[in-house]
Amino acid sequence: MVSLTCPTCAAEVKPDDLICFTCGANLPRKRPDEDPPSPATVMQEYLQRDDRSSSISSAVLRLAFDTGNVEVPAGTSLLLGRDPAESLVAAAFQRFDNVSRRHATVTVDDSGHATIRDENSTNGTYVNDDRVLPGVAVRLADGDTVRLGADVTADVLLPRWQDDPASLGRDGD
């Protein structure tokens, strides 16, 4: 039997597998007359570039809305809004007319620091009841509250991945 490997991560795969169960990549199809494999998802691309020696934090920002959680990994950004062509999480806001199609962008940098920027929304973006000026990035911290328009609120969960210097001993441990 021929041993096959995933072209993305080189893990061993079976001939009938459609995806790699190690990295989630779509595997090439047997017959060339079939459709080409789907492009990699955002999460697959994120995992592919995840290098243990890189400086990208493993922090993930979670916005806990009543309609569900929105998670943003370090090194990425996500548009919040009702337009499914623009926002990957548009379904969470479909029933809220006061959320703009392109409402706000949440970004988590490589160090795990999170910001939110209002995208000129009609009804505004708020952090802890303070309005975010359009185009201005406002830093988010664990425990903050984000509000889109009048009534779509989320709790910000942003775990700290770095040790607190006050908890370290004289030798750094």
Contact 96, 90 (CB under 8 A): no
In a domain, 172, yes or no: no
Contact 46, 67 (CB under 8 A): no
DSSP at 134:
B
Give φ, ψ of 167 to 5 degrees: -85, -10
Measured CA to CA, the distance from residue 72 to residue 95 in angstroms comes to 22
Q: What is the pLDDT of residue 57?
A: 54
pTM of the model: 0.60
pLDDT, tens only, 45-101: 666 665 444 555 566 889 998 888 888 888 899 999 999 999 888 888 988 999 999
In a domain, 73, yes or no: yes
pLDDT, tens only, 122-133: 999 999 999 999
Amino acid at 135: G
Same domain, 64 and 133: yes
Same domain, 75 and 149: yes
Q: Which domain holds residue 38?
A: 1-49
Q: What is the pLDDT of residue 128?
A: 96
In a domain, 21, yes or no: yes
Measured CA to CA, the distance from residue 139 to residue 58 in angstroms comes to 18
Domain count, the chain: 2
Judged by phi (left if over 0) then psi (alpha if -120 to 50, else beta), residue 124 lies in: left
In a domain, 121, yes or no: yes
CATH number at residue 91: 2.60.200.20
Reply yes or no on whether the pLDDT at 24 is more than 70: yes
